[in-house]
Structure 1
């Protein structure tokens, strides 16, 4: 599991997919309300007007100062469009958990 300290050291790091292809840059980390552990991250994709995509951190790892996610770049960029400027609602989290085929997850907050 990636810790908050590791993520702090990787501020604005590149986020890559399961094959090492660049997805974008680390944007925000959402914390599990119950444990305080990092649960989700958002990735800034594209250039100036790119979008921000949620992705679970449950299977992520740090490789060569990059955050490697356990999904393809296409899947990450195709994630549901959920606002990143507030806490995730239960419905939004369920939508993301279903999209990424995660059985159960924490109730993260920004």
Structure 2
């Protein structure tokens, strides 16, 4: 089943770290799959102050020791497609992210 919303609630604003244990940023908004209601994507706030918000897939993430671990480099995450986190991912945007991160796509767009 993967990471649950209840688990993520405990990780609000947690540090997100890359495959090498380096800090990427802070966990932001969580986007759930429309069909299953399970968390599918999250934004990561990078940089100083507000910074840029980029999407990472939660299917490949782990929650450990109060941090969110993702199996990607910081540079890859920062180069992710520039998609505005406006509360909903279109099917096209979601497909772009699935292709970029090379993860299997889900059954429905996230919101």
- What's the TM-score bracket when you normalise by the shorter of the two chains? over 0.9
Map of 1:77 onto structure 2: 78
Paired residues of 2:61 and 2:68 also in contact (CA < 8 A): yes
Structure-1-length-normalised TM-score: 0.94
CA drift at 1:60:
0.5
In structure 2, distance between residues paired with 1:104 and 1:40: 11
**Deviation by residue 1:47-96 (Cα, 9 ceiling, x = unmatched):** 12410000100111012100001111111111010000131111111111
SS at match of 1:87: coil
- Equivalent positions of 1:55-74 (< 5 A) are 55-74=56-75
Distance (Å, rounded) in 1 between the aligned partners of 2:83 and 2:55: 8
**C-alpha root-mean-square deviation of aligned residues, in Å?**
1.0
SS of 2:28's partner is strand
How many angstroms apart in 1 are the aligned matches of 2:27 and 2:11? 8
Q: How many residues align?
A: 109
The residue matched to 1:95 in structure 2 has which SS? helix
CA contact (8 A) 2:31 2:87 kept: no
C-alpha displacement of 1:41: 0.3
Residue in 2 that maps onto 1:100: 101
- Deviating above 2 A after TM superposition, structure 1's stretches of 4 or more consecutive aligned residues are none
* Aligned counterparts, 1:30-69, within 5 A: 30-69=31-70
Give the whole-Å Cα distance in 1 for the aligned partners of 2:70 and 2:101: 11
Long gaps (5+) in structure 2: none
